[in-house]
Amino acid sequence: MSLIHKSAAELGALVAGGEVSAVEVAQAHLDRIAAVEPQVNAFLHVDAETTLGQARAVDARRAAGEDLGPLAGVPIAHKDVFTTVDMPTTAGSKILEGYRPPYDATVTRRLREAGLVILGKTNLDEFAMGSSTENSAYGPTRNPWDLSRIPGGSSGGSSAAVAAYEAPLSTGTDTGGSIRQPAAVTGIVGMKPTYGGSSRYGLIAFASSLDTPGPFARNVMDAALLHEAFSGHDAMDSTSIDAPVPSVVEAARNGDVAGLRIGVVKEFGGDGYQAGVLARFHETVELLESLGAKVVEVSCPSFSTALPAYYLIAPSEASSNLARFDAMRYGLRVGDDGTRSAEEVMALTRAAGFGPEVKRRIILGTYALSSGYYDAYYGQAQKVRTLIARDFEAAFHQVDVLVSPTTPTTAFPIGERADDPMAMYLADLCTIPTNLAGNAAISVPCGLADEDGLPVGLQVMAPVLGDDRCYRVGAAVERALEGRWGGSLLSKAPAL
């Protein structure tokens, strides 16, 4: 088996055992990137020299006898919304074109400390606003299963890179579904940790009360290893939780669901869901039952109001966070010819530097926060948020985890929803409640839809700091289904 087809755990073991060098592993992935990027466009920035320099440093640390942990020498694709001192950071926006941050995000720093080798920065919807990666200022990323379709978003470059074997691991951020939805539509694993379980320091902010860094991988164990590598308390993030990281690797190894109480969310899975998605979802629930889980239906009535609440809260926070892009402090500056006021330069820069979806959200958010409307919109949405958290709380008295399809449909064609924001927003129907309540959720592959042969994801939601439960159920599903399929779901993808 070639190096690019190996799991992160296997690659880490090969490097640790001295059977292959980190440089060789990095080179194999750089070659793959060179071969498929013209079709996939998962990366915004790849610099072979920087990558190989990191790999050489890992080989040197290992030769010096340093104990680097299970992922040392494993390559990773890094979402271009985390700051990196040695690579540009654009958040997929023209307004940050060529921007070089002066410091590493905590997630970036921890990747480096664990000896992971950063291959480059991945494409995303501008400032992580979108579900298709079509809102990137640098062109769309394509789904390796079908190049005419979207890879999900906003972390679509990260999901596509892993699904196309350009990297065994990648990072993402999930504000409303931006890890789980891309994972589901590209047939890989994506985890949104508990809010505050992974650091936001150095993550370019979209909606600060929701943004959560998390891992992508081709299997549950690799995702758990990466989760453990970059999560945990960070004094630089005021909302970081000062508690040990849940034992996710142990849970991924365990994968035992006997006696586990699983709740099927009644509100998710009716009209508007693709038949093939529902069929795979229900079969997987039956599978979990056959493995000894106790399955019941659970009603979470407020979940149906999550989407409108999110589209008030997230844009409100975005309108405030994006005010910093003022043509003075970062990146682009338009019209500064000595004749214009600072205000005019600011307006011209923001008009030229932000794309249409970002502008839509800034306008929406500014309106929702304006005096006279604040209580009616933002205040009301915050109340809905509380109701959703209470629904979760009540549900987790009854069951250990909740399950649903990750997305209502499989990957849609590029262009199909680009001019229809409402249709685009619906891609996150099932993922948003978890963001509003701050708990943990994972998406794992559960089969292919009959209509189009495209991947379907199962979402497993757990309580705050119950991240390990997501991995336990994910591992059980993966083990049982891969037994049936005779390999991973991704091995059924057409070769690029």
Residues annotated catalytic, as ranges: 79, 154, 178
| Choices 106-114, 174-182, 326-334, 438-446 (CB under 6 A): range interacting with ligand ASN | 174-182
Distances (CA, A) of 86 to 74, 94, 169: 18, 19, 20
Among 128, 226, 265, 313, contact with ligand ASN (rule: CB under 6 A) = 128
CB of 159 to ligand ASN, least distance (A): 12
Of 264, 246, 261, 256, nearest to 467 by C-alpha is 246
Q: Tokens 């921890």 map to which residue?
A: 110
Smallest distance from ligand ASN to CB 131, Å: 4
Query: How far is CA 485 from its chain centroid?
Result: 26
175 belongs to the binding site for ligand ASN (CB under 6 A): yes
Beta strands in 41-186 (DSSP E): 43-46, 75-79, 117-122, 169-174
CB of 471 to ligand ASN, least distance (A): 21
Residue nearest to ligand ASN (CB): 178
Here's the x/- map for ligand ASN, 413-452, by CB under 6 A: it reads as ---------------x------------------------
Residue 161 has φ and ψ, to the nearest 5°, of -60, -40
Binding span for ligand ASN by CB under 6 A among 35-43, 81-89, 173-181, 334-342: 173-181
Taking the least distance from each CB to ligand ASN, the nearer of 206 and 396 is 206
Choose one: 53-61, 125-133, 214-222, 240-248; the region binding ligand ASN (CB under 6 A): 125-133
Q: From CA 364, how far away is CA 355, in angstroms rounded?
A: 14
Q: Does residue 319 have a cis bond before it (omega within 30 degrees)?
A: no
Are the C-beta atoms of 433 and 292 separated by less than 8 Å? Answer: no
Size of the site for ligand ASN (CB under 6 A): 12
Strand-strand pairing, 212-217 and 261-265: unpaired
Q: Which is nearer to ligand ASN, 59 or 174 (CB)?
A: 174
**Number of helical H runs and strand E runs in the chain:** 16, 11
Amino acid at 457: G
Window contacting ligand ASN (CB under 6 A); options: 84-92, 97-105, 128-136, 470-478: 128-136
CB of 158 to ligand ASN, least distance (A): 12
Q: Is 131 in the site for ligand ASN (CB under 6 A)?
A: yes
Burial category of 295 from C-beta neighbours within 10 Å (exposed 0-12, middle 13-18, buried 19 and up):
middle
Stretch binding ligand ASN (CB under 6 A), from 15-23, 45-53, 124-132, 237-245: 124-132
Residue from 70, 140, 177, 182 touching ligand ASN (CB under 6 A): that is 177
Q: Does 172 bind ligand ASN (CB under 6 A)?
A: no
Cα dihedral sign for 381, 382, 387, 391?
Answer: positive
How far, in Å, CA of 284 to CA of 262, rounded? Answer: 12
C-beta of 168 vs 177, nearer to ligand ASN = 177
Helices (H), 354-466: 356-369, 380-398, 421-425, 432-437
Least distance CB 177 / ligand ASN (angstroms): 5
Whole-angstrom distance, CA of residue 41 vs CA of residue 22: 24
Options 11, 40, 137, 314; binder of ligand ASN; rule CB under 6 A: 314
Question: How far apart are the two ends of the chain, measured CA to CA in Å?
Answer: 17
Q: Which residues contact 208 (CB under 8 A, 6 or more apart)?
A: 200, 239, 317, 321
Q: Interface with ligand ASN includes 174 (CB under 6 A)?
A: yes
Beta-strand relationship, 261-265 and 294-298: parallel
Of residues 264 and 314, the one with the C-beta less far from ligand ASN: 314
- The correct pick among 154, 274, 410, 443 for binding ligand ASN (CB under 6 A) is 154
CA distance 59 to 320: 44
Q: Closest distance between ligand ASN and the C-beta of residue 135, in Å?
A: 8
- The answer to whether 176 contacts ligand ASN (rule: CB under 6 A) is yes
- Residue 126 burial (CB count, 10 A): 30
Closer residue to ligand ASN in complex, CB, 174/222: 174
- What's the closest the beta carbon of residue 446 comes to ligand ASN, in angstroms? 21
Which of 33-41, 172-180, 222-230, 296-304 is the region at the interface with ligand ASN (rule: CB under 6 A)?
172-180
If you ran DSSP here, which 8-state letter would residue 38 be given? H
When the beta carbons of 205 and 402 are compared against ligand ASN, the nearer one is 205
Residues at the contact surface with ligand ASN, assessed by CB under 6 A: 128-131, 154, 174-178, 314, 428
